[in-house]
Structure 1
């Protein structure tokens, strides 16, 4: 049976997601059938560009429609919680863009609700489905790096977007791009750090725009991670083990090149697309849809590769970083069922 996707919001990341999906040569038995946005004209234009059959001018109509099985939510950060809950309430599976929510309380609430409804729910940390990251994982498991001891990684972009810089829009360097750094550390070490130290800077809106994060694990293992939304950094990551190192080349969060333990350059080409992308290497957004389809058909409500626990740990780490830097959202004072 075909897995039918509905797209929630017509923003830049939704455009890239649909472009990546539509232009991949073999998507299996799944398709994008509907789009919803608050502005029907914008939704209609999106549908025309991406050849989507059905257009909805509000999210409730899409959520209650029998035309879709799963929603991809590409909304602004503060809307993730309410929109995800809306679609779960209406019996739809959900793939929600990162960060899952603004804090761990919202994240736990949605996970609990999805489990009650027996519906699939996943945070769209597309990095974990990158062929380069799967290669890295295999190299680690094969023992080719020895014992992993240290990670260093940078992610810096020159960003002028309100969604990153305004508190009322859920702005935050750590929520926007720092999550990729934290994800890498968790992906490699696969345990919660014993200590987290963060230093950084806030803008006039009270939003973090830089941070250096030091994650300390057992037996002296450590990650040093730098994020910056006011400066372009060399956005690569190196994983050091007792036998050697691997470097995920720029952009490390979804690289198409990896410098292997033996020094050779491995390439992981992405498919070509009909339309230009808003963000780098976004052709890779399609890979997570294969895992979503696999899990749903297997009757799973979470992915082993990007589990609910993984999302909760990331949310906890981001809360910790925000707390140390003094970034506070109104929802931090609220409780969620």
Structure 2
């Protein structure tokens, strides 16, 4: 039986998401049922492009559609939690683009509703499903680098002039947009909350432009994470241990190449007219979600509710230390 998709928010990332499915996965496995926008014409245009069966001019209409099994939410950051709760309460499974909430409080609320309604929920940290990340998991399990002592991540990209990034009312700022990827990488490697979180950063108007974050873990291991939205592009990650290191080639959050103590491994993607780098890799996430649904799981072992809770605890603390406040949420 096909996984029956609904789309809420037909923007650029949604285009990449459904193009990745069309390009890489069997049509018999995925059915595009309905797309919803606050603009009927925009929804219809998206439906025509990707051959969705229905187009709605409101999110409520999609929530009421009995044919939709799982909803992909890709609206502005500020509406993620509200729409996730709406769809979960309507009996839908949910894949919500990162960040799933504006703060840790919202994240806990969403996860509780998912638990109460017994519906599958996942935050769209697609990185976790890439073959390169599977290779990293394998190397860490086999301790080829020895004991991990340090994780270094740099996520710097010149995106400060994008309206949604520089506007606090739209849920902008570096942490929610790109810093989350750096933080999730450290959480991916260590798999536990750090003992301490230390952050210093700079502001660009009402949003955070940059931060240097240090995470210290109970065994003395560290993570050094940097993000910046006003520099040239540097998107690297390295795991350093007592016996070796793992280099995740750029861009580390959607990598097609990784170098480990056992060799260099490449996982090429099929190219097409995507809006963002390596978006074809979104199909890995879709495969993982379909497997979970077929097994009746309520969360993914690769990106669990515990993972989201941990990431957002750290993110909320980072923003507190920098001094970022969102008028309607903090």
Query: What does 1:47-62 align with in structure 2 at a 5 Å threshold?
Result: 47-62=47-62
1:263-289 C-alpha deviation (Å, 9 max, x unpaired)? x4321111233xx11111111111111
Q: Is the 8 A contact 1:47 1:55 kept in 2?
A: yes
Residue 171 of structure 1 aligns with which residue? 172
Q: Is the 8 A contact 1:2 1:30 kept in 2?
A: yes
5+ unaligned residues in a row in structure 2: which ranges?
Answer: none
| Partner Cα distance (2:31, 2:244) in 1 | 42
- What CA RMSD, in Å, does the superposition of the two structures yield over aligned residues? 1.3
Report the TM-score, using the length of structure 1 for normalisation.
0.95
Residue 254 of structure 1 aligns with which residue? 254
Matched, 1:281 2:282: no
| Partner Cα distance (1:282, 1:203) in 2 | 28
Residue 190 of structure 1 aligns with which residue? 191
5+ unaligned residues in a row in structure 1: which ranges?
Answer: none
Residue 270 of structure 2 aligns with which residue? 271
1:17-73 C-alpha deviation (Å, 9 max, x unpaired)? 111111114466222222111111111111222222211111100110012101000
Shift of 1:141: 0.4
| Partner Cα distance (2:207, 2:271) in 1 | 36
| Partner Cα distance (1:32, 1:80) in 2 | 21
Matched, 1:126 2:130: no
Matched, 1:301 2:298: yes
Report the TM-score, using the length of structure 2 for normalisation.
0.96
Q: Is the 8 A contact 1:36 1:59 kept in 2?
A: yes
1:163–1:208 distance in 2 versus 1, CA, 3 Å: same
1:177-198 C-alpha deviation (Å, 9 max, x unpaired)? 0111001101001111111111
1:43–1:247 distance in 2 versus 1, CA, 3 Å: same
Greater shift, 247-256 or 282-291, is seen at 282-291
| Partner Cα distance (2:166, 2:80) in 1 | 18
User: SS in structure 2 opposite 1:235?
Assistant: strand
1:287-318 C-alpha deviation (Å, 9 max, x unpaired)? 11122122222222111111111101111111
Query: What does 1:60-71 align with in structure 2 at a 5 Å threshold?
Result: 60-71=60-71
Q: Is the 8 A contact 1:203 1:209 kept in 2?
A: yes
1:142–1:27 distance in 2 versus 1, CA, 3 Å: farther
Residue 318 of structure 1 aligns with which residue? 315
User: SS in structure 2 opposite 1:236?
Assistant: strand
1:240–1:129 distance in 2 versus 1, CA, 3 Å: same
Shift of 1:108: 0.5
